[in-house]
Chain A
Amino acid sequence: MAAIKVHGSPLSTATRRVLACLYEKEIDFQFVPINMATGEHKSDNFLALNPFGQVPAFEDGDLTLFESRASANYVAHEFADKGTQLLISGSNKEVAVLELWKEVEAHQFNTPSSKVVWELFFKPFLGMATDAAVVEENETQLGKVLDVYETRLTQSKYLASDNFTLADLYHLPNIQYLLATPAKKLFESRPHVDAWVKEITARPAWSKVLAMMNQ
């Protein structure tokens, strides 16, 4: 049995963030499905893994983590020598640029993109009504963020450097859902962002994450 376990849901954006990292690093792991429809993520067993009652939770032997970005970051460091290099090595100055774009994902991209994904993908999926005002407000906000990305991606092949890193990977789950909605127009109208989106969503490791839906 693998020492690494991910407790989560194949539909969950945060779960996918950790899975993407594990597939990029070519690490064996055990996936433990959590049935969110029955509230399993709020059960005592799961709360012992993540007191915030959110998927995913992550285990490596006796280490238990939660928060997908912290878990993925741990994997990228612990298994630095395996699979895809997701970190920037070198001087503190060079590493700082990676940390910066990870923060941009967390504090600029994540909130408006998550709101649009919820309104345009998950609500219809769950039989709930979309709130057009929320969509408009957050698409506008997301558009401003993507304008900054468009400029950045003329200077750099990927967000933090000329190589794919954790900063790009963290965007994959929300980008994938946005592509299944009319909000994909926000990418299509920005050529460098569009090329970057196509590139990172075509990565084999990401395809393996999506294939888990079929299991």
Chain B
Amino acid sequence: MALKLYGAALSPCTSRVMTCLHEKEADFELVPVDLFAGEHKQLPFLAKNPFGQIPALEDGDLSLFESRAIAAYVAEKFKETGNDLIRHQSLKEAAEVKVWMEVESQQYHPAISPIIFQFFAAPLQGYAPDQAIIDENTEKLGKVLDVYEDKLGRTKYLAGDFYSLADLFHLSFTYYFMKTPCAHLINERPHVKAWWEDISSRPAFQKVASAMNFGEKGN
């Protein structure tokens, strides 16, 4: 029985999970959740995620939410197939992957997420992007990216010379970020830029990126 992923193809959190599923060559079914109808804030979806957010995953009797936990489960379940995302054969390498997964969670995401919100979601709610919020967070993100620039000058990917879940977790929000006027933060840092071009050109991500067209005319 295939995995069922409840979400939306244009959602960065849903895409985070789908990228991982593609890297692992795992079969799954995307069950669309109608965000504009508020389906994610009502039953039956609330029974899958009491926080009312997409995505949620079902694997037989297992029900999960939080995209990073879902992706980690997928990477573990299918660790023997597809690309090795978690370095399960070396506790030290696995620990380094976990460090940079935490960095994405605690340093990168809090700075990039408000920028994405201002450019993509605020207009839908009838507000112009708030430049003060954008400026505050581009400053924070710049400092984080300075650390990345240094690290990526020493290792090819974040946790080492191997692509891992830590790099993958950055893909979907950064993809939207690169469509904003703030993209220069990535482009003006040569190692970060090279890393971004490498990881975003991976076939597994290309498959989900084509559907990530939030906010574009015609949608």
Q: Which residues of A are in contact with B by a Cβ distance under 8 Å? A: 51-52, 63, 65-67, 69-70, 73-74, 77-78, 92-93, 95-97, 99-100, 102-104, 106-108, 111, 145, 148, 151-152
Contact = CB atoms under 8 A, between A and B. Distances in A.
A51 B73 contact: no
Contacts of B65: 100
Interface string B159-170: 000000000000
Given A52-B147, A67-B106, A106-B106, A92 B73 contact: yes
Size bracket of the B interface: 20 to 34
A106 B105 contact: yes
The 5 closest A-B pairs by CB, nearest first: A67-B102, A103-B66, A96-B73, A99-B69, A70-B98
A103 B76 CA distance: 16
A74 B66 CA distance: 21
12 contacts: A52-B147, A63-B92, A67-B102, A69-B98, A93-B59, A96-B70, A96-B76, A97-B62, A100-B66, A103-B68, A108-B51, A152-B50
B50 A96 contact: no
A52 B110 CA distance: 14
Contacts of B77: 92
Contacts, number: 80
Given A65-B95, A74-B95, A74-B98, A99 B151 contact: no
B115 interface: no
Contacts of B211: none
A192 to B, nearest CB: 14
Contacts of B144: 52
Contacts of A66: 99
B150 interface: yes
A90 B103 CA distance: 28
Nearest to A144: B51
Contacts of B60: 93
A103 B70 CA distance: 10
B59, B62, B95, most chain A CB atoms within 10 A: B95
